[in-house]
Amino acid sequence: MASEAPAPSLVGSRTEDGVAVLTIANPPVNALAQPVRAALLAAVLAAEADPAIRALLIIGSGKQFVAGADIREFDAPPRVPLLNDVLLKVEAATKPVIAVLNGTALGGGLELALACHYRCASGAATLGLPEVKLGLLPGAGGTQRLPRLVGAAAALELMLGGVPIAATRARDLGIVDRLLGGSDALAGGLAYARELVAAKAAPRRLRDERVAADGLEPGFFAARRLEAVRALPGLLAPGYIVECVEAAVQQPFEAALALSRRRFEECRESVASRSLRHLFFAERPSSGASAGALVVKQVAVIGAGTMGAGIAISLATSGHAVVLIDPSEAAVAAGAERIAATIEAAVAKGRLASAAGAEAIARVTTAATLEAAAGADLVIEAVFESMAVKREVFATLDRVCGPSVVLATNTSTLDVDEIASATRRPGAVVGMHFFSPANIMRLVEIVRGRASTPAVMATALAVARRMGKLGIVVGNGFGFVGNRMLYAYGRENQLMLLEGATPAAIDAALKSFGMAMGPNAVGDLAGLDIGYRVRRERKDRPTDPRYYRVADLLVEAGRLGQKNGRGAYRYEPGSREPLPDPAVEALILAEAARLGIVRREVAAEEIVARCTFALINEGARLLEEGIALSAADVDAIWCNGYGFPRLRGGPMFYAGSIGLAAVLAGIEGFRRTHGPDWTPAGLLAELAAGGLSFEDWDRRRSATAAGQGVVR
């Protein structure tokens, strides 16, 4: 590990009344990247050596203290000075060091504050150690210093939950020594520092404190470890956090700190943590993506069904005025009732303040004609998934809406360009594919039509973000990204049903892999008739007689899923538990015989490989075609919209974790036994031949775009 020269500009230093004010300035969140660490260490050592300095004060620039480490560094070899070493030097200072928490203090930021001798905070500050959410533990002494300050039980609650707390709560716990009044945190911090100097306060080092553990029940740590591992299965960090806090009770500071460093490195190198860190960046809003967005105050939602009502709820609770439009008086009344009931339930569960809930309900009005959309800034169509119906709606909207209105379709599979062609303003048309239930699901595919203008795209992204959604731009084509990949995934599920696997066996194998639900249970939940109608809308439907044959037969037999208690499974009245149904097995056996398919036992390993490799191959094709803009986008879509296991990072990241050469070999093997559907994507073959991953491809594309001045 080679040392690098510090960058002093990242940590400003000035002296006021014998107090060295060290200001961390690494916008936007003052992350403790290597240059910042080096500059901070140099500034602390300089202040220590200056006889005129009587105390040190550390504060962040802007509205942040320090929101954590630079997570990008975790995928590379460690760079000195390590944060742990910097904090040991801060703690060892012979002059009082005061942290002024003027804003967010998370992760490494709170660990820095804990290494300081005293802590004061503005009332707006938030503090936390959220590392567990990235499959990590606090690696720079947080597992050791925090228990010495607040006790083992409270420290575990903060670290295992990973949820930030307010400054008032931090003061009550004893993390913050003083809560600052007024709006000037620096002035308050300087006043506090002068008091400490006047009182000749000595440095107070947490490493020298004893953990308050006398009141813990026998077996406390064993019970907490078991509970933590059960709550967050698949992660090393929860169990290791408990182990490190137990070490804080039982071992000297140096030994327990060394243990925490070893455990941090194990977590950092784990596939689960690497996957979560990958998704952390994949899900971050693109810089500048909403620049140029139009102002949207009122939104018209066309269609008062489950999807339309869900969209309206998200809009209303995010501050938008909404008019819910449906020609059916019964439907619009039911939609309004559903909106009010859902918002009231959120209030009852404490997820929404009572006043905010009442205001959200009041923002929703209803209407029975499309003319009511005339005053909207944005219209979101959520009607029946039929091209003819949608074109008719958009032709009417084109007539009644003003020239600056953005027209969005919530279609999940249909051609956005064909829908736009029903208007005289195709540039104003964009896809906003919400996922059901729309008031809960975070993902929105923002579909760029051939003529969609930059302002329209930016507006759709900005509205999605204001709604608290993850908006991801995709290209136009059947199923866009998520559903097109879903059809490849579902194709293999359907074929394996004919080949000999039961719905329960397929679902069990994929749940064991980590999927939130198996594909057959998902189909029943969504309604098998929905996919049936979509397949009949397709102009390029495959001619293979096996294609989604089981699903089609189920619908034609009146088995629609949970909605009528019979689908791939049967359901008892009032229950959502899927129960195997001999009638389904008989139906599949008969169809397999008619098609001449010799049935066999399909192993769980084959089930997982065929379904996941189909996803990867289709994802690679989408990247080749430009429908998906990055592999990270594909991963974010599948983890947020389709229940792909986050601990595997999404299908494209998962491919890299097992090696693209291995994926390619598996796909080529399936092509030999199952035919041309398994032709490898050219991009997959190219990357595998070069020993590269989809992450490498993303980095190469990003570098090219940056060189050309492109903003995604």
**Active-site annotation, residues:** 433
Which three-class secondary structure state does DSSP give residue 566?
Answer: strand
Handedness of CA 325, 331, 337, 338 (dihedral sign): negative
Output phi, psi for 443, to 5 deg: -80, 140
Amino acid letter for position 89: K
Using CA atoms, how far residue 665 sits from 301, 304, 609, 655, 668, in Å, is 47, 48, 11, 12, 5
Measured CA to CA, the distance from residue 426 to residue 398 in angstroms comes to 10
In angstroms, the CA 637 to CA 653 distance is: 12
How far from chain centre, in Å, is Cα 33? 23
Say if residues 343 and 361 touch (Cβ distance below 8 Å).
Answer: yes
The C-alpha atoms of residue 271 and residue 369 are separated, in whole angstroms, by 53
Distance in angstroms between the alpha carbons of the first and the last residue of the chain: 35
3-state secondary structure of 365: strand
Which phi and psi (to 5°) does residue 644 adopt?
-65, 140
Tell me the three state secondary structure of residue 120. strand
Nearest to residue 630, comparing CAs of 690, 700, 707, 710? 700
Please answer whether residues 615 and 651 qualify as being in contact, where contact means their C-beta atoms are separated by less than 8 angstroms.
yes
Q: Which residues are within 8 A (CB) of 55 and not within 5 positions of it... i.e. 6 or more apart?
A: 18, 19, 20, 95, 96, 97, 98, 193, 196, 197
Distance CA 192, CA 124 (A): 18
3-state secondary structure of 660: helix
